[in-house]
Structure 1
């Protein structure tokens, strides 16, 4: 599994690469985060980085007034560079939720800009593992049997305890977006299920995630 201090800077590079050379996108809405613009999304990413930095004993920059996209990218990189070193010293696993959050929002940003998801990304596997753990806890808490998640390429994960009672199959990107609350209940039900999906659909609401009322990207 890729350590956090490798995956996190790749997300930052990916987000910067999406926005460099795209002036005028700062007010563009991000459909996966209905109340946010591109600027709001970047502000969130920078703020989360600052909070994690402080939890690891670092010192975040002094608060600033409203910042535009270039300044937010620079602030995030400044904080992120410090975080990379601290995460490496901590063994490379203590920032996995932050990495998942950042990678998920990189995908949100790509969808908002009409850019395809990356074919490969070092943050994908560790982020997927965090999301599967979250779904597992939700399935167990609801007293449901385990669910097998299988990508179209043949990768497989088990969410919940015990032998899976059903399998849901989809391209890996669609599975990821489903786990991260970016697919509606209708989209979830339309995936390839080996059994009726209804009993498992409520389990896709957990933590900060829930299926949106309208179809996602």
Structure 2
């Protein structure tokens, strides 16, 4: 996708305004390299002067090595799940930045959703809030504890982007809710995720 939009590598990513497309790709590659070295692989730091094409080459080369190391580790699944979620979330960031529609289907959808729903559930508990049910076409999860006191449903990409801190509180509240969304909005800030004050994606 980035190779097909080589002229846009300096474009700012709306969901991560501190980064350009090239910067976001470098972030993903650095995370990949960090995982490889944590599991005993050889480090391959990215030169600050590396072009987007050079970073993309490193990402393409290092990805299979990271996959193999995670698969061989008995505790690698949880780390792998988080990496999948991070990479998929940033793929969607890039799609919005490049004007590429989100995918209708993707191998990372469900696993990434599970990570985000788990994080939201932990946040609900920290805020002393009851559980809530998350519904998209073909899948349902409970965030927090049952019985649930609210239900959030909608198109997969909109629900996902809300869970990943890419939708503003007003956008989250405007989705399909059973119950008053207001008490739950503060729980959407958790971990590294914080909804923007104003909408950055439509």
Tell me if TM exceeds 0.5.
yes
Instruction: Please state if 1:59 is matched with 2:42.
Output: yes
Q: Distance in 2 between matches of 1:123 and 1:168?
A: 21
CA shift, 1:77, in A, is 1.7
Query: Of the candidates 132, 138, 144, which is equivalent to residue 117 of structure 2?
Result: 132
Compute the TM-score of the two structures, normalised by the length of structure 2.
0.94
Give unmatched runs, 5+ long, in structure 1. 1-17
DSSP 3-state at the match of 2:19: coil
Compute the TM-score of the two structures, normalised by the length of structure 1.
0.88
Figure out how many residues of one structure are paired with residues of the other and give that number.
199
Change over 3 Å in CA distance of 1:211–1:62 after alignment to 2: closer
Name the counterpart of 2:104: 119
Instruction: Please state if 1:159 is matched with 2:143.
Output: yes
Which sits farther off after the overlay, 58-67 or 42-51?
58-67
- Greater strand share, 1 or 2? 2
Give unmatched runs, 5+ long, in structure 2. none
Structure 1: 4+ residue segments shifted above 6 A:
none
Query: Of the candidates 134, 140, 158, which is equivalent to residue 174 of structure 1?
Result: 158
Name the counterpart of 1:19: 2
Give per-residue Cα distances to partners, 1:103-155, cap 9 Å, x unaligned.
Answer: 1000000011111111111111111111010000000111100011111x252
Name the counterpart of 1:5: none
Name the counterpart of 2:23: 40
Q: Distance in 2 between matches of 1:214 and 1:34?
A: 13
Q: Distance in 2 between matches of 1:78 and 1:135?
A: 33
Query: Of the candidates 104, 110, 113, which is equivalent to residue 89 of structure 2?
Result: 104
Q: CA RMSD in A?
A: 1.3
Q: Is the 8 A contact 1:26 1:68 kept in 2?
A: no
Does 1 or 2 have the higher relative contact order (CA < 8 Å, sep 6+)?
1
Q: Is the 8 A contact 1:60 1:79 kept in 2?
A: no
